[in-house]
Structure 1
Amino acid sequence: MTDSAPPPYPGNPTKGPEPGYPPPGQAPPMQGYSQPYGQPAQPGGYPQQPYGQPAYGQYAGYGQPQGYGQTTVVVAQPALTMVQQFRETPVHTRCPHCQAEVVTATSYETGTFAWIICLVLCLVGCDLGCCFIPFCVDGCKDVTHSCPNCRQVVGRYNRM
Structure 2
Amino acid sequence: MYQQNQVQYPPNFQQPPMAQQPMMMNQPVQNMTNSTPFPVQATCPSCQKTQTTIVESKAGSGTWKMCCILFVFTGCCCIPFCMDNCKDKVHHCSSCQAELGKFEYKVC
Q: Quote the residue 2:15 is aligned against.
A: none
Matched residue, 1:44: none
Q: Distance in 1 between matches of 2:64 and 2:24?
A: 46
Percent pairwise identity: 29
Cα gap change, 1:122 to 1:148, in 2 (>3 Å): same
Q: Where do residues 9-158 of structure 1 align in structure 2 (5 Å cutoff)?
A: 79-86=26-33, 87-126=36-75, 130-158=76-104
Aligned AA for 1:147? C
CA separation of 1:122 and 1:149: change in aligned 2, threshold 3 A:
same
Q: Any idea what SS the aligned residue of 1:118 has?
A: helix
Q: What is the CA RMSD across the aligned residues, in angstroms?
A: 2.6
**Larger % of strand: which?**
2
CA distance in 1, matches of 2:52, 2:22: 35
Higher relative contact order (CA 8 A, sep 6+): 2
TM-score (norm 1): 0.48
Runs of 4+ aligned structure 1 residues displaced above 4 Å come to 73-79
Going from structure 1 to structure 2, the CA distance change for 1:123 and 1:75 (only over 3 Å counts) comes to closer
Q: Is the 8 A contact 2:32 2:42 kept in 1?
A: no
> What TM-score, normalized by structure 2, do the two folds share?
0.68
Radius of gyration: which is bigger? 1
- Unaligned regions of 5+ residues in structure 1, if any? 1-19, 21-72
Once residues 97 and 43 of structure 2 are traced to their aligned partners in structure 1, the CA distance between those partners, rounded to angstroms, is 13
